[in-house]
A and B are shown apart, each in its own frame.
Chain A
Amino acid sequence: MYRNAIFMCERLCAEFPSETNLQLLASCYLQNNQSHCAYYILKGTHMAQCRYLFALSCFQMDLLNEAEAALRPPNESSAEVPNGAAGHYLLGLIYRYTDRRQNAIHHFNQALSMDPLLWAAYEELCILGAAEEATSVFSEGASLCIEKQYMHDELSSKSSQASSDDHIVVPNRSLGVEDVSPRQLKDMHGYDVRDISRNYHGAASNQPLNGGPATFSFYNTPSPMATQSQLSGVAPPPICRNAQLNGPNLRAFGADSSPRSVVNSAVPGPRRKFVDEGKLRKVSERLFSDSRQRRSMRLGGESLVNTNSSASVASGNGTNHSSKYLGGPKSSSVVSRSVTIRKGQSWASENSDEGAHYDIYDDSRLDITTSSSSPRGDARSLEQEGAARPSGPVVVSGSRVAAGASEILGLLMILGEGYRLSCLYRCQDALDTYIKLPKKHYNTGWVLSQVGKAYFEMVDYMEADSAFSLARLASPYSLEGMDIHSTVLYHLKEDMKLSYLAQELISTDRLAPQSWCAMGNCYSLQKDHETALKNFQRAVQLNSRFAYAHTLCGHEYVALEDFENGIKSYRSALQIDSRHYNAWHGLGMVYLRQEKFEFSEHHFRLAFQINPRSSVIMSYLGTALHTLKKNKEALEMMERAILADKKNPLPLYQKANILVSVENFEGALAVLEELKEFAPRESSIYALMGRIYKRCNMYDKAMLHFGLALDLKPSATDVAVIKAAIEKLHVPDELEDEDAL
């Protein structure tokens, strides 16, 4: 339906050129993933929403400077950022990707304060490492904020007799076209309801993030009857997600929001509201035809509803509510639906006053065309609690809102805290937090993959694997976190599972970087580094802001001994996300190979500071310290690593190495004996023990251990080394170069 919408809109703009019309056209283009078109038509516009849409198109086209200038004109530093919370969020992202961390943090915080349910802003703050505790963000204060917004909406809607045009109409109306447009514009509502934009009043996100259609912008709700005003309950969900995600991602909402959907007993209410609203509109249409139009235009003028207008909602059927133009409701079925619903419900419970008004609508029921019904259908399914229901007495809605809001906030608090902790790599705490979630939320793809990630960071690969597998069962279509899953399988050397995962991911979504990362990991496990590199490069091409793909490219370059490109890749990863400790670690490894020991120690230390719980990083830091001859510190670090993770044998081995180099042979042997219990089939243990015995001149034992080492099939290089050692058993050690033995 987008093509239809775009065509009609272009005719509209030709007929009545104005910024509001351009805005509508731009939103059509954005919906259809043609951000370059939107970019060109919106260049130079001044209206707030236009600027927001323009910034959005620039952002999608990667023209961050222009996007920033649109949202924050350089000369008017005090100008308000258009589109409230969503605008701040977009600005925050721009700052993040242009490396201005403080500004980014400031704007994300602003977005959160304007709309406490803007989860994506909180997520970004966590990634930047600057998030406050979830309890303070998703707190009572936030709840009050949400309530206030609802109140505001209600009042404003009440006062403004929102014409029947309902918001759907509003955009149309606002176009200032009375006749043709609305009707045809209705067609345009290919708009996805979800893309509701926020008007610049800001927040009012009653719908927590749900892509939900809801969107009736609040000022539409009001109908001539005061009681009805309440559609506002369903204020447009935060646009932020939508803003960035346009198009296909919208579908992702379903997946993303699932963990967060809060079941609200209140839900049924608002839906019904919609139904009524439709009727109301109809009524008001009749009753207030002129004033309505004026009003709608006025309303449209004040704040454009959306970028991705919710208007779409109504349009589902493309009917206009202004049936008079077309001479007949198209959505008769819709109408009847609404009618029946109307009858069926027990409004009374929700809104005691409603009953009184019913009779007014009766005659309108017949011609109800209001589109709303179709969107309502969606709204019904997607609605979330927050929606304040009832308009009637403000008091009623207030408490409902409060109840809904606090439930959502409670949930977000747990999720937010968990996410924040896992970004700070306090993984055990994060896991403990996630456990507090109700079962139905815990068993969703998003949460389970966060759990998997937390285990991964703690180097507990078995648990991570099981968590990720559960996540796959819960949402097999979701690719979030699957790149980490593939890495886990890589570490566990499960090549069957890994190739199966990669195949599945590719068949689910060929255009997602995670699928190619998994494929690349698969090849890398089979030591085919060139193909693995190609796959990772594909992932980078698909999304150049996906830091992990860059890091994996780096790993492959290093495996191919192309250190320069490896360093470049790691640096690109760090540019995107400076807290990506894998990239710091990778750089440390490169410098270690190149024997630039200070650099390597510096980088390992940075990685360690970001993730102080990984025993692997600790053991590498220890190795680097050892190369710098700071053996005491090295040993301390190894001890810490040993304590951090009992299952990791490496720090013990490294400790033995260090002890050998300081000639503490007994200590080293003791450690190695311990290790033998742990990993009895590891040839390098015996080889090292053999070497120690040789140094201590205990030739029989040395011979024995070398023999054992050889039995365990070490690599060809090692075979050569060990055999050579055996030959030279009775010859004093020559100076061997570091590499060889």
Chain B
Amino acid sequence: MAESSEGEEEGKLTGGNQHLVVDDDLREMAKKAAWSVSSCKPGNGVLSLRDDNLDTYWQSDGAQPHVVNIQFQKKVKLQLVVLYVDFKLDESYTPSKISIRAGDGFHNLKEIKAVELVKPTGWVYISLSGSDPRETFVNTFMLQIAVLSNHLNGRDTHVRQVKVYGPRLNPMPRQPFQFTSTEFITYSTVR
């Protein structure tokens, strides 16, 4: 289950909205979701996870595992979770083992992915797809990111930013497939 270390860093990618490595057909899904954390130190709460600011971070303040919960209003397809963590800045606060769970609510979360990070310094991509092409997306109401352990056995953890991605809507509703060629796309909408 625990796969070996996920990408060691990728230096910080461009700021702003662009994650250079994120495909065009993915978009950030969690803007309208409800975010919560298991515990936090005052001043380093859940807002720091979503503020697009890599200097602010969430710091947990309780027993392990520390969790971040993301609840959506309706079932959504998710494909990718991206975290910004930095060993150089956070040392023993840097998460090491991470488990991602999904389900309808707190009562039936199941683990869908587990990774171990080794000295990461930047954006870490965790794909939620399974090996089966039918499992490219996870269709769920809720996602939970659990930090099971930290580097150097630290108790609390720092996470600087979290983003969750899913596929874009088909720009043309009620079509079985999306269009790829210019001829089709040019005529596909009235703007």
A682-B169 in contact given A493-B186, A585-B190, A716-B25 (Cβ < 8 Å): no
Chain A residues contacting B26 (CB-CB under 8 Å) are: 716
Collect the chain B residues with CB atoms within 8 Å of residue A682's CB: 179-181, 183-184
Alpha-carbon distance between A649 and B190 when the two chains are bound, in angstroms: 15
Could you say which of B88-96, B103-111, B154-162, B170-178 contacts chain A? B170-178
**B171 smallest CB distance to A (angstroms):** 8
Q: How far is the CB of A627 from chain B (nearest CB, A)?
A: 7
- Check B178–A715 contact: CB distance below 8 A: yes
B-chain residues with CB within 8 Å of residue A512 when the two chains form the complex = none
Q: Cα distance A404–B93 when bound, in Å?
A: 86
Take A582-B190, A738-B174 as given contacts and tell me if A714 and B136 are in contact as well, using a CB distance cutoff of 8 Å: no
Name A617's closest neighbour in chain B (CB-CB): B190
Q: Which residues of A contact B189 (CB under 8 A)?
A: 589, 616
Min Cβ gap B33→A in Å is 13
Cβ-based interface call for B42 (8 A): no
* Chain A contact residues, majority secondary structure: helix
Asked whether A648 is an interface residue with its Cβ less than 8 Å from the other chain, the reply is yes
Question: In the complex, what's the smallest C-beta–C-beta distance from A530 to chain B, in angstroms?
Answer: 7
Given contacts A528-B17, A582-B190, A617-B190, contact A717 B176 (CB under 8 A): no
A683 beta carbon closer than 8 Å to chain B = yes
Q: Given the known A-B contacts A592-B174, A593-B173, are A684 and B133 also in contact in the complex, defined by CB atoms under 8 Å?
A: no
Q: Is the CB of A678 within 8 A of B183?
A: yes
Q: Choose among B133, B187, B188, B191 the residue with the greatest number of A CB atoms under 10 Å from its CB.
A: B191
The reply to whether the CB of B185 lies closer than 8 angstroms to some CB of chain A is: yes
The smallest C-beta distance from A100 to any residue of chain B, in angstroms, reads 29
- A585, closest chain B residue (CB): B190
Instruction: Give CA–CA (A683, B169) in the complex, Å.
Output: 17
Encoded as 1 (CB less than 8 Å from any B CB) or 0, chain A from 654 to 687 comes to: 0001000000000000000000001101111001
Contact, CB under 8 Å: B134 / A712: no
A692-722 Cβ-contact flags toward B at 8 Å (1 or 0): 0000000000000000010011111111111
Residues from chain B with Cβ under 8 Å of A561 in the complex:
169
Q: Verify if B24 is at the interface (C-beta below 8 Å from A).
A: yes
B167 within 8 Å of A (CB atoms): yes
Say yes or no: B176 contacts A688, CB within 8 Å. yes
Q: Select B177's contact among A490, A555, A687, A724, beta carbons within 8 Å.
A: A687
B182 in the interface (beta carbon within 8 A): yes
What residues of chain A lie closer than 8 Å to B185, measured between beta carbons? 493
| Among B174, B184, B186, contact of A653 (Cβ-Cβ < 8 Å) | B184
CB pair A684–B191 under 8 Å, yes or no, is no
Chain B CB within 8 A of A727 CB: yes
From A679, A723, A741, give the contact of B181 (CB < 8 A). Answer: A679
Interface size class of B (residues with CB under 8 A): 35 or more
Q: Tell whether, in the assembled complex, residue A614 and residue B190 are in contact, meaning their CB atoms are under 8 Å apart.
A: yes
A615-663 contacts to B (CB < 8 Å):
615-617, 620, 623, 627, 647-650, 653, 657
Q: Is A295 an interface residue (CB 8 A)?
A: no
- Which residues of B have CB within 8 Å of A585? 190
Residues of the A chain whose Cβ atoms lie less than 8 Å from the Cβ of B183: 647, 649, 678-679, 682
Main secondary structure of the interface of B (DSSP, over half): loop
CA distance A599 to B133 in the complex (A): 36
The answer to whether B177 and A679 have CB atoms under 8 Å apart is no
Residues 442-463 of chain A, each 1 if its beta carbon lies under 8 Å from chain B, else 0: 0000000000000000010100
Q: Does B79 contact A (CB under 8 A)?
A: yes
Whether the pair A627, B174 counts as a contact (CB closer than 8 A) is yes
Whose C-beta in chain B lies nearest to the C-beta of A738?
B174
CA distance A650 to B187 in the complex (A): 7
Cβ-defined partner of A715 (8 Å) among B25, B134, B176, B184: B25
How far is it, in angstroms, between the C-alpha of A657 and the C-alpha of B191 when the chains are bound? 23
Q: Is B3 an interface residue (CB 8 A)?
A: no
Known A-B contacts A681-B181, A719-B136; the reply to A582 vs B191 at CB < 8 A is: yes
A79 to chain B, nearest CB (A): 46
Q: Are B17 and A718 in contact (CB under 8 A)?
A: no
Other-chain residue from B134, B176, B181 in contact with A720 (beta carbon distance below 8 A):
B134
Do B182 and A493 have beta carbons less than 8 Å apart?
Answer: yes
Residues of A within 8 A of B188 (CB): 616, 650
Select the residue from A527, A552, A718 with max chain B CB neighbours within 10 A.
A718
Considering the chains assembled together, what is the distance between the CA atoms of A582 and B190 in angstroms? 6
In the complex, the answer to whether B25 meets A683 with C-beta atoms within 8 Å is: no
Assess whether A487 is interfacial by the CB under 8 Å rule. yes
Residues of B close to A717: CB separation below 8 A: 25, 136-137, 167, 170, 178
In whole Å, how far is B142's beta carbon from the nearest beta carbon of chain A?
19
Q: Report the minimum CB–CB distance from A712 to chain B (whole Å).
A: 6
Q: What's the nearest-Cβ distance from chain B to residue A521, in Å? A: 8
A65 to chain B, nearest CB (A): 35
Tell me the bound Cα distance from A559 to B134 in angstroms: 26
Partner of B134, one of A617, A657, A723: A723
Q: Evaluate contact between A684 and B134: CB separation under 8 angstroms.
A: no
State whether A727 touches B191 (Cβ < 8 A). Answer: no
Q: Is B55 on the interface with A (CB-CB < 8 A)?
A: no
A684 and B177 contact, CB distance less than 8 A: yes
Are A616 and B190 neighbours in the complex by a CB distance under 8 Å? Answer: yes
Whether A691 is near chain B, meaning CB under 8 Å from some CB there, is: yes
Report chain B residues within 8 Å CB of A559.
171
CA distance A597 to B79 in the complex (A): 30
Complex: A441 Cα to B142 Cα, angstroms: 64
Q: Are B137 and A721 in contact (CB under 8 A)?
A: no
Determine which of B23, B133, B168, B187 lies in contact with A724 in the assembled complex, contact meaning CB atoms within 8 Å.
B133
A341 near B: Cβ within 8 Å? no
Nearest residue (CB) in A for B182 is: A493
Docked complex: A522-566 residues within 8 A CB-CB of B: 527-528, 530-531, 552, 555, 559, 561
Q: Which residues of chain A from 129 to 188 have a CB within 8 Å of any chain B CB?
A: none
Q: Which of B133, B178, B180, B185 has the most CB of A within 10 A?
A: B180
Contact B136 A715 (CB under 8 A): no
- Complex Cα gap A492–B188 (Å): 11
Cα–Cα, bound, A527→B182 (Å): 16
Question: Which chain B residues lie closer than 8 Å to A436 at the CB level?
Answer: none
For residue B132, which residues in chain A have a CB less than 8 angstroms away from its CB?
727
CB of B23 to closest CB in A, whole Å? 7
Nearest Cβ distance between residue A397 and chain B, in whole angstroms?
52
Closest chain B CB from A83 CB (angstroms): 40
A714 in contact with B23 given A491-B191, A616-B190 (CB within 8 Å): no
Q: Give complex CA distance A16, B81 in Å.
A: 77
Inter-chain CA distance A593–B189, complex, in Å, is 14
Q: How many angstroms between the C-alpha atoms of A555 and B171 in the bound complex?
A: 11
Name B44-96 residues within 8 Å CB distance of A: 79
Q: B133 contacts which of A623, A715, A719 (Cβ < 8 Å)?
A: A719
Among B137, B178, B186, contact of A684 (Cβ-Cβ < 8 Å): B178
- In the complex, which of the residues A491, A527, A555, A716 has the most CB atoms of chain B within 10 Å of its own CB atom? A716
Instruction: Establish whether residues A589 and B173, one from each chain, have CB atoms under 8 Å apart when the complex forms.
Output: yes
- Interface contact A727-B25, CB-CB below 8 Å: no
B173 engages A714 (CB within 8 Å): no
Q: Is the CB of A718 within 8 A of B169?
A: no
Per CB-CB distance, the 8 closest pairs between chain A and chain B, nearest first, are A723-B133, A684-B177, A720-B136, A682-B181, A724-B134, A585-B190, A715-B25, A593-B173
Sample (10) of A-B pairs whose CB atoms are under 8 Å apart: A459-B187, A581-B190, A592-B173, A593-B169, A649-B184, A684-B175, A684-B178, A714-B177, A715-B167, A716-B136
Known: A559-B171, A691-B176, A719-B133. 14 other contacts (CB 8 A): A461-B186, A491-B191, A493-B182, A493-B185, A561-B169, A589-B189, A593-B169, A614-B190, A683-B181, A684-B180, A720-B136, A720-B137, A724-B133, A727-B132
